[in-house]
Chains A and B, each alone.
Chain A
Amino acid sequence: MTTPATDSPPAAATPPSGDVPPVEARDVHVRLGASPVLRGVDLTVRRGEVVALLGANGSGKSTLVRTLVGVLPATAGSVRLFGHELGDDVPWSRVGYVPQRVSAAAGVPSTAAEVVASGLLHGRRLRLPRGWRTQVREALDLVGLADRARYATHQLSGGQQQRVLIARALVRRPELLVLDEPVAGVDRPSQEAFAATMTRLVDDGMTVLVVLHELGELAPLVQRAVVLRHGRVVHDGAPPTPRAGHGGEAHEHVHPHAHPTALPRTDEVRLAEGPFEARPESTEDEVAP
């Protein structure tokens, strides 16, 4: 139920080779404050796989990916990226992470190019490499924002800001891409541009682990789905098929508004919704702990 039985963990100190899975988590426990958020999660993502991480709000999806990339410490269990325990030995240049973020802006204005350029730094590389401008331009081109390089991030729309963060993860040409809700609250053109970009990357052999509320536009790409519930894996296998009446190409999902006076938000109109949604209208966005 929790782990693909065919995949036995490799012996310790395995040298990195073509067979080493990019992500290998064993019995991961994470506590945030007093509450256990993850309770013994096993997850393996093999080379070239596209894995979707699904689950209701508070099921631990974001916590899991943040633990996998080293942002949160695991209280127990082990996480290996490309065969290396989390730490200085991990080849960080092969990992690209897109955090869940409403905005790419911070205290001081910064251009899209500056934000993307920070993705070129990893491990002990603390200065920008030669030719970084070309690499930044290529990464922005990949997400369809080549003409926005000199815009301040706060001038961009939410969807464009999200694409800037994706370009920041792609600029170092990673082999593994970890995305946390990349299309949550993102406008339609950005969602479509994102799906097109992902298709191209997956065709080129990118390994992807993506946290999603619903499969949506990515449904054709996802090969495996892992469903979390209350910090445990409850499903690991074929991606769920949408319930009848939901998720069809032409399906327009209209939420009834809880408050008649509330202004409608554009992101409430969704193309498809997975069957694992038990999401009340009021908790639209998962609050990062």
Chain B
Amino acid sequence: MSGLWEMVTDPFMQRALVAALLVGLSAPVVGTYLVQRRLALLGDGIGHVALTGVALGWLVGAAMGLVPDDVLAVPGAVVAAVAGSVLIEVVRRRGRTSGDLALAILFYGGIAGGVLLIGLAGGSSGSLMAYLFGSISSVTLSDVWVTVALCGVILLVGLGLRAALFSVSHDEEFAISSGLPVWALNMAVAVLAALTVTVAMRVVGLLLVSALMIVPVAIGQIVTRSFRRTMLVASIIGVAVCVTGLSVTYWYNVSPGALIVVLAIAVYAVVALLHPVLARRRPPVDPHPDIPDDVAVVPSATPADGRAAAQEECTP
């Protein structure tokens, strides 16, 4: 117990816990919209592009002689992630079929560009490790404020415009026929995803960022049947795994980002395995008790006779 108190009063851990809590809360909010529009891998694509942004920021910082030379890495990541997500959205809009291919090309271009640029900046690809796999233990006070501000924007837009973002994510055709600003709302989702990637970069790293957006949603949709509750459950699970995973690393020397993602997937596995078992305990009910059987199976003397006969012929 005293160990727990020690952890909570440690200023390093305090900053890290605040960042983990905020990221765990907001990443699943955006993830719910991405899963809803079947773009679960969008976060991955943006994460890869953000790596190029990190390297670009590094290159510019080094060229300007800034100290430390990665001071522009996070702003670079924000710019590249937003640009990348807007680009993906434009491509998705123009040619629907090639969106998948465009995403793949962005994946490769992002990683290759990042490694290439970091070399030019005088670093090695090892310098990118902190960004690829997270570096939550080195969070500074100003990092915390940036995280608070960005998560505030994500939660404000993601929750404030929930009905409208649900509408475009659920049925874009209907949203257009309602005169909604569909283009602006799609862009809002894309930019939210980009911001989420850059704030979560610190906690779990760019390669695992998408897991924090998607896995809690995958858990939420097993146990609920409404959009609102899926989002709520996903956020609770996001906070729980982020805080737990980070706390464990206070005592055991393992990568916090990887541990958080493994924890989330473990929760998913347990829920996915247990939910059917628990659901089976309830007595089976006909989901549509009020729908009469409109296919006559038993032959009768009515005109439905022919229908029933035809059906029996069809059944091997």
State the A residues within 8 Å of B (CB).
66, 69-71, 88, 90, 92, 95, 97, 99, 101, 106-111, 114-115, 117-124, 126-128, 150-152, 155-157, 160, 165, 168, 178, 187-189, 250, 252, 254, 256-257, 260-264, 266, 269
Q: Which residue of A lies closest to B228 (CB)?
A: A114
**Please, which residues of chain A bring their CB within 8 A of the CB of B295?**
264, 266, 269
Other-chain residue from B173, B294, B314 in contact with A71 (beta carbon distance below 8 A): B173
In the complex, are the beta carbons of A70 and B176 less than 8 A apart? yes
CB distance from B24 to the nearest CB of A (A): 19
**Please, which residues of chain B bring their CB within 8 A of the CB of A66?**
173
CB distance from B221 to the nearest CB of A (A): 5
In the complex, are the beta carbons of A111 and B176 less than 8 A apart? no
Other-chain residue from A92, A114, A252, A260 in contact with B307 (beta carbon distance below 8 A): A252
Please measure, in the bound complex, the distance between the C-alpha atom of A261 and the C-alpha atom of B316, giving whole angstroms: 7
Given known A-B contacts A97-B174, A117-B163, A122 and B179 have beta carbons under 8 A apart: yes
**Please, which residues of chain A bring their CB within 8 A of the CB of B313?**
257, 260
Other-chain residue from A99, A111, A118, A157 in contact with B291 (beta carbon distance below 8 A): A157
Q: Which residue of A lies closest to B176 (CB)?
A: A71
Please measure, in the bound complex, the distance between the C-alpha atom of A127 and the C-alpha atom of B38, giving whole angstroms: 23
**Please, which residues of chain A bring their CB within 8 A of the CB of B177?**
69-71, 92, 95, 97, 99, 178
Please measure, in the bound complex, the distance between the C-alpha atom of A111 and the C-alpha atom of B231, giving whole angstroms: 13
CB distance from B179 to the nearest CB of A (A): 3
A contact face: mostly helix, strand, loop, or mixed: loop
In the complex, are the beta carbons of B179 and A70 less than 8 A apart? yes
| Sample of 17 A–B contacts (CB below 8 Å) | A97-B178, A106-B38, A107-B35, A107-B38, A110-B227, A117-B163, A118-B166, A121-B180, A123-B179, A126-B164, A127-B163, A157-B288, A187-B291, A189-B292, A254-B306, A263-B314, A263-B315
Q: Which residue of B lies closest to A265 (CB)?
A: B295
In the complex, are the beta carbons of B179 and A107 less than 8 A apart? no
Please measure, in the bound complex, the distance between the C-alpha atom of A124 and the C-alpha atom of B164, giving whole angstroms: 10
Name the 9 nearest CB pairs between A and B, nearest first. Answer: A92-B179, A152-B225, A69-B177, A97-B177, A118-B167, A126-B164, A110-B227, A122-B178, A111-B226
Other-chain residue from A106, A111, A127, A156 in contact with B171 (beta carbon distance below 8 A): A106
Please measure, in the bound complex, the distance between the C-alpha atom of A111 and the C-alpha atom of B311, giving whole angstroms: 35
Please measure, in the bound complex, the distance between the C-alpha atom of A218 and the C-alpha atom of B101, giving whole angstroms: 45
* Beta-carbon contacts under 8 Å, B161-187 to A: 161, 163-164, 166-167, 169-171, 173-181, 185
CB distance from A258 to the nearest CB of B (A): 11
* Beta-carbon contacts under 8 Å, B6-55 to A: 32, 35-38
In the complex, are the beta carbons of B174 and A118 less than 8 A apart? yes
Please measure, in the bound complex, the distance between the C-alpha atom of A165 and the C-alpha atom of B180, giving whole angstroms: 17
Other-chain residue from B174, B181, B310 in contact with A254 (beta carbon distance below 8 A): B310
Other-chain residue from B167, B227, B307 in contact with A121 (beta carbon distance below 8 A): B167
In the complex, are the beta carbons of A126 and B176 less than 8 A apart? no
Other-chain residue from B181, B310, B314 in contact with A261 (beta carbon distance below 8 A): B314
Known: A109-B221, A188-B294; 6 extra A-B contacts, CB below 8 A, are: A110-B170, A126-B161, A126-B185, A151-B225, A165-B174, A264-B295
Other-chain residue from B32, B227, B294 in contact with A187 (beta carbon distance below 8 A): B294
**Please, which residues of chain B bring their CB within 8 A of the CB of A168?**
174
